[in-house]
Amino acid sequence: MKTIVSTVKGARDFYPQQMAIRNWLYHHITRVSRSYGYEEYDGPFLEKIELYAAKSGEELVKEQAFVFPDRGGELITLRPELTPSLARMVAQKQGELLYPLRWWSFGPFWRYEKPQKGRSREFFQWNIDLIGVDSPEADAELIAICADFFRAVGLAPDQVQVFVNDRQLMDAEFDRLGIPAELKKKALHLIDRREKMSPEAWKAYAAEEGFSDNMLAGLAELLEDKQTWKQSPRLTRVFEILKAAGAVDYVAYEPRIVRGLEYYTGVVFEAKEITKEGRSILGGGHYGNLVSDVGGDPLPGVGFAMGDMMIQVVLEKFGLLPAAGGTPAEILVTVFDESLSPESARLAADLRGAGLNVVTYPDAQKLPRQFKFADKIGVRFVLVVGPDEVMAGTATVKDLSERTQETVAREKVAEYIKTRLAG
């Protein structure tokens, strides 16, 4: 036997069982997005490299994107993220669109990373954005969407939390701590690094970057104080709205969350599992300027992105992944013998016409074998149309779960099965 060609590293096969889980996620994402009135869209999967070059902070493209020349020599990128495509699409029709825009998407992305638990080179991502508005209501809406999604997939507030901060609050706090303007960006970096370094290394790094002991003590205190949000009118309003919306159990202020430094300008948030691993599930925030990098007029918004890999790791850990997959059919119609196979096809077509999902056995194998197949794939009903049934205008309906068997008039079979399914 020849060797089977293997899959590309970091790419995944979706057998029906894995596909059912992807669809289950997509279903909940769709439900929640639509419940807030968001419209689904999608960008192309291939984009020109210039699109990413236009965006500042393009580490993704330089270091992680699949970039290659097409057969015409043009440099093509497999999209590593959706925001630049979204910006382009909005800029292209900036004058025609109706704001605020509510758009969401779920599709494939590619990054040349080291495959590991919760990370692959080809993955799916949910992107959702509310564009053309800058308000605490908008910030709260996106955070409430996270909470609703977690609730929908069965994750409780003691299992996941959306950690929220406000970059403008941090800016005001930096002023209070006497951190000069030229050190502010470094201060955000420093916060971002806090959990990735030992306290000693962190202090040494800070001193090297020019932070005084006083500033550092102030920063350390800021990171410990979970009440600072009360100084932020914006966060105060966001929490007030989230409370009214019944989402606040899922949300906490966390000064350590700063997110993408070049992009976000206001409220930022990141959802993590409440475990010692503390894996990050999604992240987003408010941006002041979505489209001017790609040629449009400045437009604020708020949005987040969630990959399909880490959420599955978290759901699996908490035993929340569904037992998905299996035939969608409720019924198998057997083929009594070759001459009667059109009768089976006729009955199956009638049942499909009535909205039922029906497998027809595809040849005239011995009946016990067909029954065995029905049992294995997990349909509930097995139907037989033999010479007696044809003569009498009936079908024999075997209910594998109730272990019953009845002869039912042909025109009543759909109704009979629907009643049993509903009961």
Which amino acid is present at 122? E
Applying the rule CB under 8 A, the residues between 142 and 161 that interact with a copy of itself are 144, 148
Query: Shortest approach of a copy of itself to residue 2 CB, angstroms?
Result: 4
Applying the rule CB under 8 A, the residues between 29 and 48 that interact with a copy of itself are 34-48
Can residue 98 be called a binding residue for a copy of itself (CB under 8 A)? yes
- Look at the block and give the residue holding tokens 């509510």: 102
Would you say 39 or 59 has its CB closer to a copy of itself?
39
Applying the rule CB under 8 A, the residues between 384 and 413 that interact with a copy of itself are none
- The 346-385 contact track toward a copy of itself, x by CB under 8 A, reads x-xx--xx--xxxxxxxx---------x--xx-x------
Would you say 57 or 295 has its CB closer to a copy of itself?
295
Please identify which residue in 81, 141, 173, 389 interacts with a copy of itself, judged by CB under 8 A.
141
Query: Shortest approach of a copy of itself to residue 358 CB, angstroms?
Result: 6
Applying the rule CB under 8 A, the residues between 198 and 237 that interact with a copy of itself are 237
Can residue 12 be called a binding residue for a copy of itself (CB under 8 A)? yes
Question: What span, in angstroms and rounded, lies between the C-alpha atoms of 254 and 270?
Answer: 9
CA dihedral 43, 49, 55, 60 (to 10 degrees): 90
Contact segment (CB under 8 A) with a copy of itself among 127-135, 179-187, 204-212, 263-271 equals 127-135
b/e sequence 81-105, b meaning 16+ C-beta within 10 Å: bbbbbbbbbbbeeeeeeeebbbbbb
Query: Shortest approach of a copy of itself to residue 186 CB, angstroms?
Result: 30
Which amino acid is present at 165? N
Q: How many CB atoms lie within 10 A of CB 399?
A: 15
* Alpha helices (H) along 260-395: 308-317, 341-353, 367-377, 387-392
CA dihedral 321, 323, 325, 329 (to 10 degrees): -140
Applying the rule CB under 8 A, the residues between 182 and 201 that interact with a copy of itself are none
Please identify which residue in 197, 245, 367, 408 interacts with a copy of itself, judged by CB under 8 A.
245
Query: Shortest approach of a copy of itself to residue 359 CB, angstroms?
Result: 4
Contact 138, 286 (CB under 8 A): yes
Please identify which residue in 128, 170, 247, 414 interacts with a copy of itself, judged by CB under 8 A.
247
Pick from 57, 249, 295, 42: nearest CA to 157: 249
Would you say 103 or 163 has its CB closer to a copy of itself?
103
Q: Which are the contacts of 10, defined by CB distance < 8 A and separation ≥ 6? A: 113, 115, 120, 121, 122
Query: Shortest approach of a copy of itself to residue 100 CB, angstroms?
Result: 6
Query: Shortest approach of a copy of itself to residue 88 CB, angstroms?
Result: 6
Please identify which residue in 115, 119, 135, 189 interacts with a copy of itself, judged by CB under 8 A.
135
Please identify which residue in 28, 61, 110, 253 interacts with a copy of itself, judged by CB under 8 A.
110
CA dihedral 228, 229, 232, 237 (to 10 degrees): -160
Query: Shortest approach of a copy of itself to residue 111 CB, angstroms?
Result: 10
CA–centroid distance for 94 within its chain: 27
Applying the rule CB under 8 A, the residues between 274 and 313 that interact with a copy of itself are 292, 294-297
Pick from 337, 340, 326, 322: nearest CA to 380: 326
Residue 63 has what DSSP assignment?
I
Query: Shortest approach of a copy of itself to residue 25 CB, angstroms?
Result: 13
Would you say 188 or 364 has its CB closer to a copy of itself?
364
Please identify which residue in 80, 100, 266, 303 interacts with a copy of itself, judged by CB under 8 A.
100
Question: What span, in angstroms and rounded, lies between the C-alpha atoms of 397 and 407?
Answer: 6
Applying the rule CB under 8 A, the residues between 49 and 68 that interact with a copy of itself are 50-51, 54, 66, 68
Number of residues that bind a copy of itself (CB under 8 A): 112
Query: Shortest approach of a copy of itself to residue 71 CB, angstroms?
Result: 5
b/e sequence 37-60, b meaning 16+ C-beta within 10 Å: ebeebebeeebebebbebbeebeb
Would you say 148 or 273 has its CB closer to a copy of itself?
148
Q: Are strands 75-78 and 66-69 parallel, antiparallel or unpaired?
A: antiparallel
Contact segment (CB under 8 A) with a copy of itself among 7-15, 166-174, 266-274, 275-283 equals 7-15
Question: What span, in angstroms and rounded, lies between the C-alpha atoms of 200 and 216?
Answer: 12
Can residue 249 be called a binding residue for a copy of itself (CB under 8 A)? no
Which amino acid is present at 147? A
